[in-house]
Structure 1
């Protein structure tokens, strides 16, 4: 039987750790399968586990008192779910919904916080990731307010493609409308526009990215800014 410490680490936050820290951390994790649509935590709920996705990904969703919902961030193999524990806060500020099924490393929150005390490199990387997340949340808020739906849809498709590792994405207009906080008709018009430009193909709940460079050009600058910030702040030392 292969131990967890022998499994190649595909989560980018963990892959750059020194071998001693990485091995101790991996030994304390379980590998779990994330099911599409699974809710890992609700706003104001207690964070009982942290998740480091390997090939699945998680949407972080703000929910208002009138039950309106808006995705404000994603966590795939580049990140984690449960980052507020780094600040000593075990209450979730956002809903965490599995958007892409796949595997993840999971650890109990209490054990994670204890391990941080003896894992200085991991602790530093997670503080830097928290900084990236803060910037991305702020940019997402401005993007949703100022940018057109077509550009926002292009950005969201690129973010999803990065984490799914595939050109084919299973997405309905209803789901996209919820993620972007717009009406379904707005998503339909934006998807038609992107398809007319030959950037995507949409048919019965499946979107295929046909022209990634063109989709990047069609998106707002928030997509490239997010990637540049992550690369700058979390580049291997």
Structure 2
């Protein structure tokens, strides 16, 4: 095929993918990917990763992501890193995953900042984790806000500072993440950055418990008994 014909086929294949006509997209894009087209390879990788128009196959997905990553496509590099992270399609290797996630962001793919932070945190690279969490928080990622608060609370890389910790938990409250509600409840119950307010803390533990947190459920039950049940 001529270069112009290939470009036309690629555009058509991508259009079919975006229209969720995955089988047709696969018919068009697979030959292009197998002939070395890196952009086609990325779309085929996503189809195999999610089982879109093809049988789900993580090994093939990772192979295509690896092919697409050779042109420094940040998104493909990040997804290749995820192959190593969860052991799907590659042997699990958290250090390799972390290397690829960092490389992906350096090549312009920033949507995985929170994931990078999480991996950095797991391997004990707290300075990098904190930096990634801050970058993700600037983009509105409330799980990142939760983790920044936790790092201030526990003094991981940063100086322990309960006031800042609780401020970050407050910022993340709209997410309704159970751990955020529980941690903010701790701020009130223990008076980490303000006077103790056990009654004020109870609704946060109760809501976190309602959202499925067993730890918060135990805390809520204990606080209820402390505050409201008649004592002998």
More strand by share: 1
TM-score range normalised by the length of the shorter chain: under 0.3
Question: Whose relative contact order is higher, 1 or 2, with alpha carbons under 8 Å and at least 6 apart?
Answer: 1
More helix by share: 2
**Which one has the largest radius of gyration?**
2
Q: TM-score, length-normalised on structure 1?
A: 0.23
Q: TM-score, length-normalised on structure 2?
A: 0.23
